[in-house]
Chains A and B, each alone.
Chain A
Amino acid sequence: MPEIDSVEQLLKIAALVCAAVAAAILIWYLVRKPQLNRPVKVLLLIGLGVMPAGVALTGNIAGYEYTLKRPFCGSCHVMGAYVRDASNPESKSLAAIHSRNRRFGEESCYVCHADYKMFGAITTKLNGLKHLYYYVTEYAYTGPDGEGGPTIHLYKPFKNGSCQQCHSTSAPRWSGVAEHQGMLDEIRSGEMSCIGCHSEVHPTALAHRAKAEKPAGEKEEHK
């Protein structure tokens, strides 16, 4: 029997148990067609209301937890190059280096790309719906890694705040870098972007390839 080693797995099992109980009650009702007396009504309320609500609730949380993980981001084929690089233990890209850090781990895509405001999780997931829309309408029939589709780019410039979750800009080792000292205020205010210098984030991504299509006037990818 596989081990349950995360809340997500536990929630998935709870959702499946709720679904099985609900299905058993409903199939029993549809097959046997008992008279609608009070015990049957209560049983149906469990099968039609309580258990499906349990499936929806636990399934939503388990689904949300899974959407934070790198395999979920990689489930759209256009992300293949990004995810392969981030998962490559030999890669020296920023994405791969951070993915090897336990703080990021399997959730490295989300940790760096999520919005960090009060409703950051909601706006991030709404952007996820936008990703899905573009995937279905523009990338669904593109090559193995999205070749032939429009250049993949962020909706808005990458914010230094994502880097500053860990790199507080006050640690001695960070401050010891001459370039950091010279532009400390600009970095803190966001005027100077971290990835302006540390640009090797997703080097194998399609946007960086020579053959990638790039619509006129579109900015270079910011990851």
Chain B
Amino acid sequence: MKITVERLVSISAVVTLAAIVLMVVSIVFPKPLLLVMAMSLGQGIGTLSLALYLLAIALDLQGFRGEVEEDAAGTAPGSGPPAP
């Protein structure tokens, strides 16, 4: 499976949604186990997904710089790989 910036961002979005669901469930149904899950697993995977997004953006910026150099050589400008 090819890893692209878009795919990383999509994975990050899905994981963040899962983290948000965990945290919201603990707010709506504040039971001990759910609170512990939200404060540990929920926030853990939320932080992980943010790190994944920042990694994706860093990779995208690196790609963007490469394209600036290509622009100087006369190729078409763009802000990153095209959307699928």
Q: Is there contact, CB below 8 Å, between A56 and B23? A: yes
The answer on a CB contact under 8 Å between B53 and A22 is: no
Interface class of chain B by DSSP: helix
A18 to chain B, nearest CB (A): 9
Cβ-neighbour of A26 out of B17, B31, B43 (below 8 A): B17
* B10–A30 touching, CB < 8 Å: yes
Shortest Cβ gap from A62 to chain B (Å): 6
Please give the number of chain A residues whose Cβ is less than 8 angstroms from any Cβ of chain B in the complex.
40
Complex Cα–Cα for A210 and B47 (A):
50
For residue A29, which residues in chain B have a CB less than 8 angstroms away from its CB? Answer: 9-10, 13
A66 lies within 8 A of chain B by Cβ: yes
Q: List 28 A-B contacts (CB under 8 A).
A: A15-B24, A15-B27, A19-B20, A26-B16, A26-B17, A27-B17, A29-B13, A30-B14, A34-B83, A35-B83, A36-B6, A36-B83, A37-B79, A37-B80, A41-B60, A44-B13, A47-B16, A49-B50, A49-B53, A52-B23, A52-B50, A55-B24, A56-B42, A66-B35, A75-B30, A76-B32, A131-B32, A132-B36
Chain B interface category by residue count: 35 or more
Which residue in chain B gives the minimum CB-CB distance to A12?
A: B27
A163 in contact (CB, < 8 A): no
Query: What's the minimum C-beta distance from A49 to chain B, rounded to whole angstroms?
Result: 5
Q: A35-B80, A35-B82 are in contact. Are A52 and B9 (CB under 8 A)?
A: no
